[in-house]
Structure 1
Amino acid sequence: MTFSKTLKPALLASATILLGQGTALADPIKIAVNEWTGQHISAHFAGALFEQLGHEVEYVTAGAVPQLAAIAEGSLHYQPELWTNNVGDIYPKAVEAGDIIVVGGLGLEPQEGWIYPPYMAELCPGLPAYEALYDCAQAFAAADTFPDGRLITYPADWGTRSADLVDLIDLPFKPVPGGSEGAMLAELKSAVAAEQPILMMMWQPHWVFAETDVNWVEWDTPHGTCDEASQKRGEACGFQQATVDKIVAKDFATSYPDAMKMVELMNLTNDVQNVLILEVDQNGREVKEVVAEWMGANEDVWQPWVAAAKQ
């Protein structure tokens, strides 16, 4: 996803309309809420921790780009789950200017690439190394792709990165776009239940990993960042991986020193988020409910953070 290279006045105006006027940090602490379930969980987890410190919390719906302008001007205070691969170069420029403070990583380990069920390793010796796919493409073949293997890729309107990679490294597979995220997951679960061959593009954190056992194809280690340029140099490094940052407004630490300590300590792993996403997206439960339930069962994890933040 590509965005404008500058924080344009129109963007700032949009953020002001969406998120409210003002540059001073004041109660309540305003936390960004983006459009996917995992981030909702991170946001409400952070809010619950701030409430443990006695702060009031406000959850503010904000887009990936407008939230940066709002944090830079101080009308939004905290974003616990900023994915660095969906904000273009606006984010690093705002950080470099000192308008946004990066506190550190949330603890999530984002991953994107090709997955397969463990039983496929017997049919394709050499996995998880990608080189094995050259020799056992037929193990992944379907009637409409034979003798090439079948690779389920993202829906067509999500881009063509998997297809581009197949062409680039001349892999004997036919990319087949999934109709939707739901259709892809239904096919994965059906194939695993019947122990049928499947190779599919996927990402995590995601609820499917809380209930389905899969392995990831492994790629060459890139010399630097794995991107289009490195692929063109002949580096079969797979796909660029994002990082997930915790970011705050520049005055957050002075306005909320105890909350700043909490931000520094707050940590959330893939395993935890995957399970909570499953409860929300598949079992129809409320985000606040599943976060509260997890916190009630795991006080040994976060209570030390509260104690340290109050010191």
Structure 2
Amino acid sequence: MKSLFFAAGIALAGAGSAYADSSDPIKIPINEWTGQHISAHILGSLFEKAGYSVEYVTAGAVPQYAAISQGDLHVQPEVWTNNVGDIYPKAVESGDIVVVGQLGLTPQEGWIYPPYMEEQCPGLPSYEALYDCAQAFASPDTFPKGRLITYPADWGTRSKDVVGQIDIPFEPVAGGSEGAMIAEIKSAVAAEKPMLMMFWQPHWLFAENEFNWVEWDEADGECVEESGQSKGNACGFQQASIDKVANKDFASTWPGAAALFEAFSIDNDTQNTLMNEIDQKGRELEDVIAEWVDANEETWAPWVEAAEAAKN
């Protein structure tokens, strides 16, 4: 059964829309983490296989939604729905951004720490243990508060907000980038130094190191981060779905690309493997993506065929 997104594009194309099968480049935002680079560049490569031109545009994970809603950017294959800011839900509600479906990744987000920290904070993994042993996570700059590395500033303030809501004695410190966060946690693990960090998976980091996740109170339904959490009633972080989204005019402008985008998917194993090649083995993103595309025609050929069928 065709989605409303794809069906609308075909209907407009069939009606002779002047914008159908545009020769303009499809603009895909590039965010701050390697997994998204992989999703975006595989998608872009397959658009090119289907005869479209593609332009990659650097954009912040939250600010990008204004550009997508306005049509300055066209598709985003990897939206972590629990870290989207204020613009995104309004744009989805108004119809300026269309949710096409899920990407296929199984995500987890929260606070991680190396297992050796449980010796210094015996109540872990419960978040309530952090009230009593914050100093075990302290740095000279934060003492007596613990130090919590959070996402880069333009990814939003979710960890900072939770720290404030539950009044936990930690100082949120924004990571400069994904790469800076990884360098810091690897350095800490190598020296068995204190570390508490907001992080996510899928990610190659979990293939090479063991980390534990801080555990929260069970939520009554979904965890709603804005609901005024407190000690004894803290669900932590809403777990995301990872969605594919597009500007409202994408399906009518590029109906073939819309069909491909709807079919497109990536799983954790694929993304973790490719991230490891790039981030750990130091290979160029473009080479890794080209190698995957060459080796996986059986996977993506039906998606490109769907694009060709929609154009004809």
**What TM-score do the two structures reach when normalised by structure 2?**
0.69
Which residue number in structure 1 is paired with residue 53 of structure 2? 57
Q: Please say if residues 29 and 40 of structure 2, whose CA atoms lie closer than 8 Å, have aligned partners that are also in contact.
A: yes
Distance, in Å, in 1 between the alignment partners of 2:173 and 2:268 is 26
Which residue number in structure 1 is paired with residue 210 of structure 2? 213
Instruction: Sort the Cα spacing of 1:90 and 1:123 in 2 relative to 1 into closer, same or farther, 3 A.
Output: closer
* One of 176, 182, 187 as aligned partner of 2:184: 187
Distance, in Å, in 2 between the alignment partners of 1:121 and 1:264 is 44
Distance, in Å, in 1 between the alignment partners of 2:110 and 2:265 is 24
Which residue number in structure 2 is paired with residue 294 of structure 1? 292
Which residue number in structure 1 is paired with residue 7 of structure 2? none
- Report 1 or 2 for greater relative contact order, CA contacts < 8 Å, sequence distance ≥ 6: 2
Distance, in Å, in 1 between the alignment partners of 2:70 and 2:189 is 44
Figure out how many residues of one structure are paired with residues of the other and give that number.
284
Which residue number in structure 1 is paired with residue 199 of structure 2? 202
**What TM-score do the two structures reach when normalised by structure 1?**
0.69
TM-fit CA distance, 1:39: 3.0
Q: Secondary structure of 2:26's partner? A: strand
* One of 112, 115, 132 as aligned partner of 1:115: 112
Q: Secondary structure of 2:35's partner? A: helix
CA deviation map 1:109-162 (0-9, x unaligned): 454421012344566566433244456667x45685999784332389678754
* One of 92, 95, 100 as aligned partner of 1:98: 95
TM-fit CA distance, 1:287: 2.5
CA deviation map 1:209-267 (0-9, x unaligned): 45333222122243445223331596312134554321234454455444333222211
How do 1:223-238 and structure 2 match up within 5 A? 223=220, 224-231=222-229, 235-238=233-236
Task: Give the residue type in structure 1 aligned to 2:27.
Answer: I
Instruction: Sort the Cα spacing of 1:201 and 1:69 in 2 relative to 1 into closer, same or farther, 3 A.
Output: closer
CA deviation map 1:47-96 (0-9, x unaligned): 222233x322221426404422443xxx6542222344565443333333
Task: Give the residue type in structure 2 aligned to 1:246.
Answer: K
Instruction: Sort the Cα spacing of 1:45 and 1:129 in 2 relative to 1 into closer, same or farther, 3 A.
Output: same
Identity %: 53
Instruction: Sort the Cα spacing of 1:152 and 1:109 in 2 relative to 1 into closer, same or farther, 3 A.
Output: same
Instruction: Sort the Cα spacing of 1:107 and 1:221 in 2 relative to 1 into closer, same or farther, 3 A.
Output: farther
Instruction: Sort the Cα spacing of 1:273 and 1:122 in 2 relative to 1 into closer, same or farther, 3 A.
Output: same
Instruction: Sort the Cα spacing of 1:256 and 1:97 in 2 relative to 1 into closer, same or farther, 3 A.
Output: same
Q: Please say if residues 149 and 174 of structure 2, whose CA atoms lie closer than 8 Å, have aligned partners that are also in contact.
A: yes
TM-fit CA distance, 1:103: 0.7
| 2:19 is aligned with 1:24 | yes
CA deviation map 1:148-193 (0-9, x unaligned): 784332389678754654464354x543636744554333213322
CA deviation map 1:21-44 (0-9, x unaligned): xx8241355032234243332222
Q: Please say if residues 111 and 242 of structure 1, whose CA atoms lie closer than 8 Å, have aligned partners that are also in contact.
A: yes
TM-fit CA distance, 1:284: 4.7
Q: Please say if residues 137 and 196 of structure 2, whose CA atoms lie closer than 8 Å, have aligned partners that are also in contact.
A: no
> What do you get for the CA RMSD once the two structures are aligned?
4.1
